[in-house]
Structure 1
């Protein structure tokens, strides 16, 4: 069964990449930000039905080098302090407007207990309790979501959720939470 799942993921990934266009954002690979190897891999069934938006509650970053260092630091925290198998989110988006691959499109993340196998977790780097992310960060998020649908990674009718709707947390911050409610993919309930 696991082999069939892997083949389905690979097939959808290959066909999706053939139809993706220039509207897809550049995604900094794990190698590009210096990721450590994952201790274990579990694959998701795609297309994914839910996307959970998170904030990292860390200082923001505005350059490629600082954002890569921030993502590497988050991975170290997840693996060394929390003893997770890898970084928790599927993608992270920096204030530099770049998308950083975490678990990626096909691997199960560790971002929202009870939803990891059915939802992508996308973290915006920074703290957005009192202010919105920079426009470039929000635009990168929109492009990533559009790209995911075009590539077949996300269900065309996926539901966009805030982390706070699913677990006891302030994430993704009140300012970002209010902004997301204006997006067409927003779902009031799961």
Structure 2
């Protein structure tokens, strides 16, 4: 609701579609989560607790997601200058919503603390990171000239995210196997 101009420049049904998706994402999904959790007796027990390294990665990811979402909502032009390509306002707002939902998911992961329930958040990072690394390579014509530094920084940040999440995933593999053999 803060930056509606890009939406209003398109046909009304685009705006209606995105507004309905935002409504579901921000209001309906959390309500369903709360009702579902209460129906099953409240907070579920922790089977495999998050390690300090995993909690640190989630905490850092939460802060980065929050900063990115707020920046994309309110300062998309400045964010666009830091990237090796131009980021349209509409796309920046949509990606800002994505980062806002990640912020909420990371906050929930810190609160929940169970690896078995939060591991999809870690598993989504490596393939997403690889796709983000491929993006400038595939769409090289869309890159602004003289953005070598921004592009190098982009690759370093995305690569670090991929490696950090892979490290956490691999560190939990023995605990997952032990838990699976214990449950059977």
Higher relative contact order (CA 8 A, sep 6+): 1
Give TM-score, length-normalised by structure 1: 0.29
Bigger-Rg structure (1/2): 2
* Greater helix fraction, Structure 1 or Structure 2: 2
Give TM-score, length-normalised by structure 2: 0.30
